[in-house]
Chains A and B, each alone.
Chain A
Amino acid sequence: MHAAEMRIVPATQEPGLVCCGGGALFLVSAGGCKVEVFHTQQEECPLICRFSTMGIVHSIVYSQIGDYLVTIEEKNGATYLRAYTNWRYQAAEKKRVGVRLLGHLMRGQALHGTPKEQMEIVEIPLSETPLCTACCSITGALLVACAKSLVLFSLKRQSLNDQLDALDFERLLILYVSGWSPSQVALCGGYVAMQTELEVLVVKLENLEKICASDEEHMQLRGDVMAAAGVTDADGKKEPQSPFESDDYFVFPKHLEMLGDKAKDCGVSLTLEWTGMDTEANDNMGVTYILYRRFAPDFFQGCTVEETRLHSLQLHPMYTGNPDVSSDAENSDPACMFCFFSLPNAGYMYSLKNTVELISAYQYPEKAHQALLCNEFLHVITQNALQCFSVRCSAVAARVEDPYIDTTMKACPPFTMEVSALRIQLFIGLKSLCHDGNHIVLLTAADIETKEETERATRRSIKSKEQNSMAGIFLAVGINPTTSPALESFLSRSFLSKKTSVSKLKEPSESGHGWNLYVISTVSTLQLYREMVEYSKRYEQTSPLSQNYVHLLSEAHLLLRASLLCSPNTDRAKIQEAFQESCAHLGDCFSRLEKRDCHLALPYYKMSGLSVTEVIQRNVAVCRGPAPDYGNGFLFFLKHSLYEETMEELSEETANTVLEIFSKAEPGQLPYVVSSSFMKNANPVCVRVHLEHLELSGAPSVTVSLCKAAQALRLGDLHYYQQQMDRHAEMLQVYGFIEEPKLLVHRRGKAMVPTELARHLRDTQDGLLVAAVVALHENSKVKLEEAELFFQELCKDSAESQSIPQLLVDFWEALLVASSQESIVQELLFHLTSVYIERIMCRERSGIKALKTAEDLINSCSHYGSLFPWLNILTPAQFNITHDHQEDLQKLQSLLCGPTLDVSSIVPLLEQLPDEDNTGLSVHMLCATKLGQHENAIEKLLDRCPHAIVSYANHELRRDKMALWWLKLFPELCERIRLSSGDNGVLLTALKETLAVVAMELNPVEFLNLIPDDGTAHFFLAHLLKCSQKHLLT
């Protein structure tokens, strides 16, 4: 934090207590009975109003929600809890102030004509003395801590007119705390944090947010406003003894940290009593332990019990998403919740949501009076200094918001990154600190005797002192200002700017009192960011590869993230721009690193919005010289960008540069680099030279040869091409393609673009091409659909008329031979049967030969079965169709004869195939048979091609279909012979064959029964004889 502007608040009396919020600063004068309110947003911090309290104020807290103040006051020995509402109406000091009890909201129509524009004080009766209070920044609810219990009030708002809200509170619940009196409490959402001298406990009240958030709906004026307030008496509970207190000694346990559910064993027991009006809510309420910490004074560090005392307990919510867009952020659940508390020498920040964990521990260089956590910084005051530390809120929130962080897509500095001190400013006698938006308010008060002396001394020494401590801080984050003239000049400059701003105002000594109130506005995030980048640059020059340089840039990056996450911004676009720039800086950083985290260059560059060409230029610019030494991060980035196929096409110059880079740094990568589509503008002669160089250096490989061949094609040097292609057997070349698929195909989004080499192979070595793509598929380099797209694209402009190019069918057939994946097989079978059927139906042929014949397939692939013998009778080879046609028919028949094809799945396809000729008939017969419709098939065959029936029956009517011989075939034959008019030789032969089979299968009686009554005895006699002979034998 760098002071941009420092103003002095024109308070007239020495403030005792200070608090701020909502653009207002509240001072309780030392006497304790008067509150003065000043504008913090306006130049001169003018007075807004001034009003008296009803007693001496011991504590004051402001709630932005509801714009109310809560005080603990004392008058004549009694302690009161009061809420000051509509205080802005006190601008005219001599205005009456209304006073009422909690629950006595009485602005009913019946009682009043018009609402009064007047301040109202709500007195909140309690059965115990209040010790401290806290307000929820989300709902405006109020938490009051007493010695034995915490009481929670929800805020009730009733709008009286456009400007005027009447506020009231409802006593929602009481939380009895055993053996524990908090010295400080905090409330946010459902989280309740409490702190004693050395212990912190955080719990969550389940479902509380919902109840509190809906206060507007619950708000209704009760008819009996005059009834006495329903004050619940909350004493008489017997607390169990704390387990840490034994009878005689108080045992101080050592440091203890209990996270999440474990915290319930901390020994502090809580009992919840619901006192709200909505009794249903009661059932859903419960307390969950979130965090418990206990500290012990460290006597060896010279601490006393009094010194080791916790302070500055805070709950800090953080929302994600663009705050400009989600305007209802206030009502929604915050994405992150942090808890901060502090010992004199150390501060702790925990994250409470998701997992409960310690995010940061701060070590203060000197004893801190008070600390304040906000989204971007932790402010700490010590006796004489305001210190500012970095925080990790945005690093935690970023990860909640974006699941892609910590992948190759996006990155963010880790929240475990050491926090650093960013800035120190000196003040004399700092007493208290508060924070509102981008303002910090500081109260200083010098001790009376030493006051003037110190001031004089300070003014003399402030320059050197401030410079020294700042130098110290920069050393702490790894910056040595003495080696960096610019930084030194920054130190004096920042001092000067502070001095000028102060000198405009009254100097403390001139104002004649020992105290002062400063309002300091924080520098805009952008300005601060630029300064940090500036230092990092100076620093980089002196020691470029230090982690501290990365650290500083990471801090700057987190600062911008915090700003994007949290504050609605007028200059959001500018911050977004700076954010991308910071990503680029970090990308540069990591690209130069050797090992650790160098891979982060990739996500940061991606987030930077820089093109690959720009990234290359940035890195080349840095690594100029005779032997440029590129960092691993940069090479990692380049490799990934080339392989992920997400980048732009490089110009010839840049592409040649990339060649140079890899030739030097990682020559082994060259084959992959030159095969990238983005490199296609690289000079082919250049590429060839680099590849030959690679081969000479002892790395000859199939892939390199293939690359060289591909480049030769670009050069039109077919001779050289052939040389390269002849160097290795096709089988080995397939391995080469597996190693670098981009030799054949480039991806453009979802599209598959065949390379020049692939086109050349299509025309010259289609077998190799198909084999290579099958190999790519089997090695998971391409998916089936992608391979299909590839072939479609490859054959798009060929002379083929068919919708499915032959090369693709070849690929399917080859893949069916090779693949063992069941799902792929089924898909291929379906593709192929439909192609075959289509081709059988339309007789036009392109004349392109298939790579594999039906015979090849039957011999090499189990899915293609041997053709059943009866098919040879039905569709004999050299049938009256073309060869190609015959091939397709045989492939289809073969698939139907094979074991794999699920016939039922292709039945719909078959419907289009007519069975007028034997071609179609054969296919339909095969299907019917496969589906078990043998009787149907027998009839069809007898109708259309009876001379095939015996062959069919012999092959198909077996085992469980045996009975069809006598139950179906025999009667059919008899019937047809009887009806036939003469030439029935074929049928008679078939009948004889049938009888021969039946005679062997049936016993004589059965056989006799079968013989038709009108039959000629001698025709059957021989068979009957055979039948009885067989049965005598058995």
Chain B
Amino acid sequence: MAAKSSLLKVILLGDGGVGKSSLMNRYVSDKFDAHLFHTIGVEFLNKELEVDGRRVTLQIWDTAGQERFRSLRTPFYRGSDCCLLTFGVDDAQSFLNLGHWRKEFAYYADVKEPDSFPFIILGNKIDVVERQVTTEEVQRWCCDNGGHPYFETSAKDATNVAEAFEEAARRVLALEDRQAHVMPSDVVDLRRKPRSSSRCCL
């Protein structure tokens, strides 16, 4: 199933207002809006890119971070290839909540081994002067929780945005390659076989 790897589902999670939608807009449309509405439910955008000579389509899922929209977003965690856990460096609480986000994702996405799942941590709004979370703090947290990669981004200044998404794609591809070596017969054909009973007709 060659087509499997061409579409990669990447999901953005994190507290309301940390800048998930802004990151996606910056990456896909290279635009920034200083007065964005809160996201309701779930939306996605596709972005084609080439990483290490391979063409892939990133399907970037933007979710509503506010608590009240929880039931609208959780059904769509399933099938994600990579999860971008986002917080604002100017918002300590959003950093503290990363653990909850990780758990919510693992639960609803039905991830069997959360430790080997490709999470990427994004600390957004580094252009803001009044930081509440230090780089070291985050790096320590990443280490303690399975060694996730960490990017400090600014959707406003377009700092590190493309790099973060490309890394996501790279991680997924790497993981797929590894799995293909371990279990070459991983592919399941979903199309139904014809009724088998027709074998022995009289």
**B45-98 interface (Cβ within 8 A of A):** 45-46, 57, 59, 61-62, 68-69, 71-72, 75-76, 78-79, 81
Chain A: number of interface residues, binned into ranges: 35 or more
Residue of B nearest to A33 (CB): B7
Contacts A131-B192, A226-B72 given: A76-B41 contact, CB under 8 Å? Answer: no
The digit string for A724-765, where 1 denotes a CB below 8 A from any CB of B, is 000000000000000000000000000000000000000000
B176-197 vs A, CB cutoff 8 Å, 1 = contact: the mask equals 0000000000001011101101
Contacts A100-B72, A305-B201 given; does A56 touch B43 at CB 8 Å: no
B75 contacts A123, C-beta separation under 8 Å = yes
Cβ–Cβ contact B201 & A197, under 8 A: no
- The interface size of chain B toward A, counting residues with CB under 8 Å, comes to 39
- Nearest opposing residue in chain B for A30, CB measure: B3
Question: Contact: B7 with A249, CB < 8 Å?
Answer: no
Taking CB atoms, residues of chain A closer than 8 Å to B201 are 250, 252, 296-297, 305
- Kindly state whether residue B42 has any CB partner on chain A within 8 Å: yes
Contact flags A271-312 to B (C-beta < 8 A → 1, else 0): 000000000000000000000000011000000011001000
| B191: contacting residue among A58, A118, A123, A227, CB under 8 A | A58
**A104: B residues at CB distance < 8 A:** 41, 71-72
CA distance A496 to B61 in the complex (A): 53
B183 CB to nearest A CB, Å: 12
Given A58, A79, A111, A249, which contacts B202 in the complex, CB threshold below 8 Å?
A249
Given known A52-B46, A96-B45, contact A111–B40 (CB-CB < 8 A): yes
Asked whether A54 lies within 8 Å of B59 as measured between CB atoms, the reply is: yes
Rounded to whole Å, the gap between the CB of B31 and the closest CB of chain A is 10
Q: For B61, list chain A residues within 8 Å (CB).
A: 99
Inter-chain contact B3/A106, CB cutoff 8 Å: no
Q: Interface 1/0s, chain A 93-116, versus B by CB < 8 A?
A: 011111111001010000111000
- Asked whether any CB of chain A lies closer than 8 Å to the CB of B26, the reply is no
A77 to B112, CA, bound (A): 14
B35 to nearest A CB, angstroms?
13
- CB-contacts of B115-160 with A (<8 A): none
Separation in Å of the A476 CB from the closest CB of chain B? 34
Report B14 CB to chain A, min CB distance, Å.
Answer: 17
Question: Are B43 and A94 interface neighbours, CB within 8 A?
Answer: no
Whether B190 and A75, one on each chain, are in contact in the complex, defined by CB atoms closer than 8 angstroms, is no
Is there a chain B Cβ closer than 8 Å to A478's Cβ? Answer: no
Does chain B have a CB within 8 A of A245?
A: yes
**Does B44 contact A54, Cβ atoms closer than 8 Å?**
yes
Q: Which of B94-120 contact A (CB under 8 A)?
A: none
Q: Is A875 an interface residue (CB 8 A)?
A: no
B200 lies within 8 A of chain A by Cβ: yes
Establish whether residues A56 and B191, one from each chain, have CB atoms under 8 Å apart when the complex forms.
Answer: no
Provide the main secondary structure of the chain B interface. Answer: mixed
Which B12-47 residues have a C-beta within 8 angstroms of A? 28-29, 37, 40-46
Q: How far is the CB of B94 from chain A (nearest CB, A)?
A: 22
In the assembly, what is the distance between CA of A296 and CA of B43, in Å? 50
Nearest-CB residue, chain B, relative to A224:
B71
B40 to A250, Cβ gap below 8 A? no
Partner of A250, one of B44, B78, B81, B198: B198
Whether A79 and B190, one on each chain, are in contact in the complex, defined by CB atoms closer than 8 angstroms, is: yes
**Is there contact, CB below 8 Å, between A197 and B195?**
yes
Q: Is A31 touching B42 in the complex (CB atoms < 8 A)?
A: no
Q: How many Å lie between the Cα of A58 and that of B43 in the bound state? A: 23
Residue A196 is within 8 A (CB to CB) of chain B in the complex: yes
* Given the contacts A54-B59, A228-B71, A97 and B43 also touching, CB distance less than 8 Å: yes
Q: Which residues of A contact B200 (CB under 8 A)?
A: 249-250
When C-beta atoms are compared, the residue in chain A nearest to B189 turns out to be A74
Give B48's nearest chain A residue, CB to CB.
A52
Task: Report the Cα distance A228→B200, complex, angstroms.
Answer: 47
Would you list which residues of chain A between 800 and 825 have a CB under 8 Å from chain B? none
Docked pose: A248 CA to B6 CA in angstroms: 46
A55 at the B interface (CB under 8 A)? yes
Interchain nearest-CB distance for A184 vs B (Å): 12
- Shortest Cβ distance from A113 into B: residue: B37
User: How far does the alpha carbon of A49 sit from the alpha carbon of B76 in the complex, in Å?
Assistant: 25
Q: How far is the CA of A614 from the CA of B54 in the complex (A)?
A: 79
For B69, the chain A residues whose CB sits under 8 A away are 226
Q: State whether B3 touches A31 (Cβ < 8 A).
A: yes
Q: Which of A40-79 contact B (CB under 8 A)?
A: 52, 54-56, 58, 74-79
User: Is B41's CB under 8 angstroms from A106's CB?
Assistant: yes
A98 and B195 contact, CB distance less than 8 A: no
Query: Any chain B CB within 8 A of the CB of A32?
Result: yes
Residue of B nearest to A196 (CB): B195
| A114-166 contacts to B (CB < 8 Å) | 118, 123, 125, 129, 131, 147
Closest to A309 in B: B194
State in angstroms the CA–CA spacing of A229 and B42 once bound together.
Answer: 15
Instruction: Kindly identify which residue among B43, B75, B192 contacts A125, using a CB–CB cutoff of 8 Å.
Output: B75
A834 interface residue, CB < 8 Å from B?
no
Contacts A76-B79, A131-B192 given; does A226 touch B43 at CB 8 Å: no
Contact across chains for A31 and B197 when beta carbons are under 8 A apart = no
Pick the contact of B3: A33, A113, A196 (CB < 8 A). A33
Chain A: CB-nearest residue to B63:
A99
* B42 pairs with A106, CB closer than 8 A: no
Verify B76–A123 contact, CB threshold 8 A: yes
A197-252 CB contacts (< 8 Å) to partner B: 197-198, 226-229, 245, 249-252
B72-A245 in contact (CB<8A): no
- Assess A251 versus B202: contact at CB under 8 Å? Given A31-B3, A32-B3, A33-B7: yes
Q: Which residue of B lies closest to A299 (CB)?
A: B201
With contact pairs A181-B192, A251-B202 given, residues A96 and B43 touching in the complex (Cβ less than 8 Å)? yes
Taking a contact as CB atoms under 8 Å apart, the answer to whether B42 and A99 are in contact is yes
Given A52-B59, A226-B72, A249-B202, check contact A75 B9 (CB 8 Å). Answer: yes
- B-contacting residues of A (Cβ < 8 Å)? 31-33, 52, 54-56, 58, 74-79, 94-101, 104, 106, 111-113, 118, 123, 125, 129, 131, 147, 181, 183, 196-198, 226-229, 245, 249-252, 296-297, 305-306, 309
Beyond contacts A56-B3, A76-B79: 15 other A-B pairs, Cβ-Cβ < 8 A, are A54-B59, A58-B190, A94-B28, A96-B44, A98-B41, A99-B42, A99-B61, A101-B72, A106-B41, A123-B75, A123-B76, A227-B71, A228-B71, A251-B202, A309-B194
Show the binding face of B for A, using Cβ within 8 Å: 3-4, 6-7, 9, 28-29, 37, 40-46, 57, 59, 61-62, 68-69, 71-72, 75-76, 78-79, 81, 188, 190-192, 194-195, 197-198, 200-202
* Interchain residue pairs A-B with the least CB separation, the first 8: A52-B46, A96-B43, A252-B201, A250-B197, A99-B42, A75-B79, A31-B3, A33-B7
30 A-B residue contacts at CB 8 Å? Answer: A31-B6, A33-B3, A52-B59, A54-B9, A54-B44, A55-B7, A56-B3, A58-B190, A75-B7, A96-B44, A98-B42, A100-B41, A101-B75, A104-B72, A111-B40, A113-B37, A125-B75, A129-B190, A131-B192, A181-B192, A196-B195, A197-B194, A197-B198, A198-B198, A226-B69, A226-B72, A227-B71, A229-B75, A245-B197, A250-B202
